Structure 1
């Protein structure tokens, strides 16, 4: 019997090995490399050519398959490490910081080796030469990036904090290095540098505008951040795109679909553990659902006894899904009462969703996908500003109103 079990184990072992990704493949998922280095749904994975918008012009991602002519097949481990962690390609050409090497510089040597082995041995080589990046002068002078690098990049590997537990350190490492969360969630300075790369900075992960979306505040801010949500809710959101934290939308959809939904549960828990340790920062709103006036106001809205600006538009276009109470419907339509995205200091994402609509991502362990329609043709700029201001200041939500100018500016930007 024992011999039979040993033989069965030996026969099934290759199948189990094939089902499990290699360490390098897993790390590439954690780094979401495929998102930037794949030209849309029609492009070959990692073959580059994705146009990345920057304030200085379009930057095209490179081919990082092991093709010898157009990819990185001729890179040594040292070449690979220098490009990944120092922002310098083979031959000495400096990479634009659209490639987040300022975060990747914290990746450990062993993880760099695993990534190198994955890209050289497991990724299929693709012969494709992406369009060449041609920025206007003086941004086409790549040598000047040396000074940018000297000013803003530390070039230090992640060092565990001895006063923190293993989960915290694992979460900090994933967030700060491979996950490069700050690339979207940390505001930029005048030189387009992130204003902080670790929790030591008061600006780190406090939210920023990226491609006409506002990447959320990930600090412990109680209204617009993660202060009111448990570690379990945060890890569930990263794994499925749904939880008490809210529902995924915008650029974060790709992050979850390409990266975080593939992470091990323990890594998701570690990330949540680290994020929950961040103090509240950059808060400009509040959520007070138990205030005495809230219940009376809600009753009056539901019964139609009062007519506040925006309430009629909300009842006509929004209440069917999000309910008059702002509670939404679990696993289908997100709640608006206390939603951090609703209470964000910058309403860009809220305006974007109203103008263009959106679709809730579908993940393996999440609920069915739902769509939000576009209201760009149904509502004017003043009407959108009015209804969003109503949403940001009802059910205990207290946030700055949305202006007609903000709606108009984003509508024009989305038409370009």
Structure 2
């Protein structure tokens, strides 16, 4: 007769083993899902989609033209397509490209890819990014055009010398999710969000001037302003909550609103960070060394007040068949007053912001005001949409001439800002660019379960 106790015992042991294997598999699946979620969040914080997605293109498939003083660099396909993307990359290949700027084939990447910043990423975060890009991003079988730069920039080996001069962020260690506030803020600003890439001026070799970290720099017709704690040239009069609100929504009441490249960064990246990370990032930025701007002598958002709400149409007559004769005040009345108010106070909910106590209007540099008028604002965050039409173009037809925009800028800055900048039509013309506005909307990061 069979030994029932032995049979039952074997079933119990086998069941325990199977249960243990099942629990182990469940933990492994949970770990993989956690790693995927972490990678998705890190990719959002690093704003990878902004450069690796062309207008109207598929997410991360590349093809975006990025203007540099050496010519246009075309972003690459970083989807897991084996032929056209990075699907054949091992984790070691991925790390080498991400932190050292070297492709799988050994060629050097151009530093529009901010590998000098990503060099600071932890091993754990590199692994999470690799896992998500390989399993959470849909492969796209598209090959973007090759970058074609003039000699000697077309010789990628020259990047070896540039890398030596540029230096790179020191690699962080440990679990970045457990860092204290300032260390986490430093990690976000210098490694992931690479704030210095836009906001730090560069020398003739296009290497960031670290002694002027975040002190402001030109950017494709726009100007990434000084965001050090200087009370005259920077954002020293902003509170931490002001900065958090700006990073989260693109608008800080009575301070500024994001447009252009910064509007995109808010839309695709910072508006999706946790409140804890936004507080950490703001805390770090507010304690970097202060740098007094060489042009702004007063806080940019401290200029102006509401003007007398008088009828701008009283007085002299204007010929309606010759818009070139219109003054800046009349151009404002016909194009801006309906939203911003004849007194410049904006709408009650500040959807159309006030033009006084506004850092764009109060800046000594008119670049961002010109660009905002020419190209408009189109920013969507979880908080809502902010939009302004571009008055430089109406579809393919120019709406206001360069001369009219110059008059409008001078009127707005003289009335609500730091004074008449004497902007000319030629300045407006040089600010116009041939690049298309980026129209990529935020693409929610997904895990492998809903990506394929």
Q: Which TM-score applies when normalising by structure 2?
A: 0.75
| Aligned-residue offset at 1:146 | 0.6
| Structure 2: unaligned runs, 5 residues or longer | 1-28, 317-326, 437-452
Q: 2:127 maps to what in 1?
A: 113
2 CA distance for matches of 1:252 and 1:172? 19
Structure-2 residue corresponding to 1:208: 217
2:233 and 2:300 in contact (8 A); partners too? no
* Structure 1 residue 290 displacement after superposition: 8.8
Tell me: CA distance 1:95–1:320, structure 2 relative to 1, closer, same or farther (3 Å). same
Alpha-carbon offset, residue 183 of structure 1: 1.6
| Aligned positions of 1:95-110 closer than 5 A | 95-110=109-124
Q: Supply the distance in 2 between the matched residues of 1:145 and 1:385 (Cα, whole angstroms).
A: 40
| Counterpart mapping for 1:186-201 below 5 A | 186-196=200-210, 201=211
SS state at 2:414 partner = coil
CA contact (8 A) 1:287 1:398 kept: no
State the secondary structure of the residue aligned to 1:397: coil
Distance change in 2, residues 1:191/1:312 (3 Å): same
**Structure index of larger Rg:** 2
Q: Identify which of 74, 79, 84 aligns with 2:88.
A: 74
Call closer, same or farther: CA 1:318–1:27 in 2, change over 3 Å.
same
Which residue of 77, 82, 107 corresponds with 1:93?
Answer: 107
Unaligned runs of 5+ in 1: 1-13
Q: In the alignment, which residue of structure 1 is the partner of 2:388?
A: 371
| Paired position in structure 1 for 2:250 | 241
Greater mean deviation of Cα atoms: 383-392 or 92-101: 383-392
Pick closer, same or farther for the CA change 1:389–1:243 going to 2, 3 Å.
same
Give the Å deviation of 1:57: 2.3
Equivalent-residue separation in structure 2 for 1:267 and 1:53 (angstroms): 30
| Residue 61 of structure 1, CA deviation | 1.6
Q: Distance in 1 between matches of 2:259 and 2:60?
A: 24
Is residue 221–residue 433 contact of structure 2 (8 Å, CA) maintained in 1? no
Aligned-pair CA distance for 1:395 = 4.2
Instruction: Report SS of the residue matched to 1:53.
Output: strand
Range with greater deviation from structure 2 (315-324 or 95-104): 315-324
2:346 and 2:352 in contact (8 A); partners too: yes
Question: 1:267: Cα distance to partner?
Answer: 0.5
Q: CA RMSD in A?
A: 3.4
What is the aligned partner in structure 2 of residue 25 from structure 1? 40
Structure 1 residues 195-230: Cα deviation after superposition (integer angstroms, max 9, x where no partner): 23xxxx22x222222222222322224456322222
- SS of the aligned residue for 2:359 comes to coil
Deviation at 1:406, TM superposition (A): 1.6
Distance in 1 separating the partners of 2:115 and 2:280: 23
Instruction: Mark the CA change 1:395 to 1:213 in structure 2 (over 3 Å): closer, same or farther.
Output: closer
C-alpha distance in 1 between matches for 2:433 and 2:52:
29
Deviation at 1:289, TM superposition (A): 9.2
1:51-200 correspondence runs (5 A): 51-154=65-168, 156-158=170-172, 166-196=180-210
SS in 1 for 2:278: helix
Q: Which has the higher contact order (CA 8 A, sep 6+)?
A: 2
Give CA deviations for 1:358-381 in whole Å, capped at 9, x if unaligned: 33x232223x44323415655444
For residues 397-412 of structure 1, the aligned pairs below 5 Å read 397-398=418-419, 400-411=421-432
2:372 maps to 353
Alignment of 1:310-389 (within 5 A): 310-329=328-347, 330-359=349-378, 361-366=379-384, 368-375=385-392, 377=398, 379-389=400-410
Deviations 1:238-281 (A, max 9, x none): 11222223222112232122211211111111111122223243
Alignment-derived partner of residue 220 in structure 1: 229
Partner in structure 1 of residue 273 of structure 2: 263
Q: Which range is displaced more, 221-230 or 136-145?
A: 221-230
Matches of 1:206 and 1:316, distance apart in 2: 36
Structure 2 distance, partners of 1:223, 1:401, is 22
Aligned residues of 1:86 and 1:155 also touching (Cα < 8 A): no
